[in-house]
Amino acid sequence: MLIKDILLNIYECLYQHFGPRGWWPADTPWEVAVGAILTQNVAWRNVEQAIANLKEANLLGLQEMQLATEEEIASRIRPTRYYNTKARKLKVFVNYLTEQYAGELSNLWHQPLEKLRAELLNLWGLGPETVDSILLYAGNQPIFVVDAYTRRIFSRLGLLPEKVTYAEMQRFFMDHLPVEVELYNEYHALIDALGNQVCLNRAPKCHLCPLAEQCQGKTLV
């Protein structure tokens, strides 16, 4: 079976099991971008609380955040851990948008994807997963997001080595899947659902896994 067919079969199995995930949960593309920066190394419920705190303080908007101090932002995003660092990341991103794109997130999407991705990766504190989440979920750009769940699941399936890099994982999916934003969006969300709920790092719930028959690492606990 071709790798493309294997990946699409995995997608269908996950979709049938979990259903549509409705990612990214946010009211606006800007809120998606903020959430992508805040969600690193913390559960999504903490991000939701931090975004609610920013809204309550009228600090969620791009212009409002640009005028606020790092300390003011940090005080509202404490639930996300590393809140001082994340406040600085937000300010760097906001200042970049203000100086380079007239304070409008939508102006980003007029740039060629490769050029824009390189620009964002050059900003302090923004790594590949964060940047690609912004591009895909805020900008509807055709870029596949991968993460630790992707590495865990697809190495257990025998499709990727355990020590595969982010770039190698991303290339694997983008080389073998149709270039479709909706597919990329849903596939990454489904992978995260499986990694978060079933394919755990320790004591995976293999008896609940829709991919158990295909998995080389199953324990059937």
All structural domains of the chain with their residue ranges:
3-22+144-214, 29-138
What integer pLDDT is reported at residue 220 of this predicted model?
42
So what's the pLDDT on residue 221? 40
Amino acid at site 188: H
Percent of the chain, pLDDT > 90?
Answer: 95
Question: 60 pLDDT band (50/70/90 cuts)?
Answer: very high
pLDDT in tens, 136-195: 999 999 999 999 999 999 999 999 999 999 999 999 999 999 999 999 999 999 999 999
Mean pLDDT for the stretch of residues 64-81: 97
Rg over alpha carbons for the chain, rounded to the nearest Å, is 18
Q: Judge contact between 36 and 134, C-beta under 8 A.
A: yes
Please say whether the beta carbons of 156 and 216 come within 8 A. Answer: yes
What's the whole-number mean pLDDT along residues 188-205?
97
Domain 29-138 fold = Endonuclease III; domain 1 (1.10.340)
| Residue-wise burial string across 84-102, b where 16 or more C-beta atoms lie within 10 A, e elsewhere | eebbbbbbbbbebbeeebe
Contact 138, 36 (CB under 8 A): yes
Q: How far apart are CA 106 and CA 213, in angstroms?
A: 44
Tokens of 153: 């699941």
Domain 3-22+144-214 bears CATH identifier 1.10.1670.10: yes
Mean pLDDT of the chain: 96
Give the pair of three-digit tokens for residue 98. Answer: 């203000």
Query: 165, 159, 152, 155: which is closest to 202 by C-alpha?
Result: 152
Band of the pLDDT at 216, cuts 50, 70, 90? confident
